[in-house]
Structure 1
Amino acid sequence: MNCKNIPLERLRSESALTNPYIYRISELYDQRGIEDVSRHHRLNFSALIYITEGVGQHYIDHQRQQIRAGTLLTLGKNQIHAFAKNRTVDGFVMPFNCTFLADSKHDPYFDSIIAALVQINCIHAVSDDVDALLRVMANEFFSDSEFRAEIIRSLLRSILLKTIVPEYKTKANLTQNDRSALSARFHSNISSSDFYRLKNYIDEHFNLRPSVVEIALSMGKSVKQLDKLSKDNAGISVKELLDERVLIEAKRQLAFSQYSIADIAAQLGFNEATNMTKFFKRHTDVSPKDFRQLCRMGLKQK
């Protein structure tokens, strides 16, 4: 692997696509070693981390999260994270593939869960009922029930719908019209996979900087339909969704890779490094160089 690049972690086997597994945090440190678990790496899957004891820190993208017993961390596909070098907490880690969450082709909540996974990464103190659900789910991994996978899926969905999804809706600051559209969508029979398809398309092609027209054509939608789809699920337009993905990747590469700013600009589809600098400053009020320097001084803390 190129030493400049960010290490990528994949699910341990294809069977994990439909049968998730679970680790104790202490087990991960023992099995993989401190250097491995504390190295910033990108996930090719999603994960849930629940802290059951202790106080410490965890790193997600360029943010340092303060964690303690009762903290729930969630990670979406392509996010970068690392455990602390000194283990001061314990709990459990559940890696899973996003498609595991869908309970049917017409799951009305799937898109909201997927959107929330990469936007809301930390619930600092879950409620008692969520804590109970988390512990029941952890125990279910050791069950010999023939319904084990479905029970885990239902519990995981319930946990995410009670924690990160409501916070994501609030953070998105949706208008009343958007909320009405979301409500109508939740009670419709239209497949909820379209927003997931849109997110996947952007994830796979954002570095080519496709236009909204190109994205719409690839998905067999009109620009108006696609913008409505994006606003109904994320509260922003497709162009803003694409810019958001480019921006977070720029931040990840600046924080964790050794590529030059010019190389990062080229990877992200900018014709010139100065164009990326203008884009980055417009969205963050700081230059890529200053952002990288801040990250080198120590990961930014919320």
Structure 2
Amino acid sequence: MNDNALELFNPQSKSLVFKVFTFENDEYFNSLKQYNYFSVILILSGKGSLMADISEYSFKENSLMCFSLYQPFKIQCEKGFKGIMVNFHPEFFCLHKHRNEVSCNGVLFNNIYASPIINLPIDETQYLLTIITGLKIEMERTGTHQLEVLISYLKILLINASRIKIKQTHLEYASIEKRPVILSNLKNAIEEHFKLLHSPGDYAELLNISTAALNRISKTHFNKTLSNLIADRIIIEAKRQLYLTSKPVKLIAYELGFNDEFYFSRFFKSNVAISPQYFRDTVGFDRESI
């Protein structure tokens, strides 16, 4: 185990299910990361660039980054990069099972329409740091009820991070005058039709706008091409089905508008870098709980 990491393993499968990792430079993050667990990274100092999926973002100190299952990311930073990363596998804490308690899926994770970076006021940074410090202290303890305490701390972390992001999102929307109505229309169209309509031209026709213009709008406001935005939405649903159901991959492919299971598998692998079956095997609902 890394001296800067505290780790918890599933005693049955021996797989890592929870980890708190303290870092003091960007060396660990210079190579592409793609975990079979959720990641929350609190940046205490430093500034640099984040590559998440295929989009690039800039960040500075006092910020929070959140990444979903197998979401690829890489961080490059100037000197003075310090922070803490919390990783948790679905068998440790299932966002779906606890959705009524934390409501962070679609806010912190799997939000294709927003940056994975949350800028934090200094007092919020310190509060989240206090929560994570509580996690670290509990990880170093042994005895009964450790899991319950760790999960309680994790819930508090996710709830408060979600509150901050929701508040920021509302402020951002309020501060942008004459925000293009087409943004909401595009988002609503994708949410309604992504299982059937897979090409940018489909949405351009639906919204009565040229494909080139709609693609420019997507790139400007969502930092993604329209094709990437549509693909991301399909992948989120595919992951959800693979994770939460026992449906055959062929049926999932069909429900997502793919008549060819093998084409769907290639599509999934080109976007996630692993096969649908491997995703299910490593994060699926039927894995043994700790």
Which TM-score applies when normalising by structure 1?
0.47
Higher helix share: 1
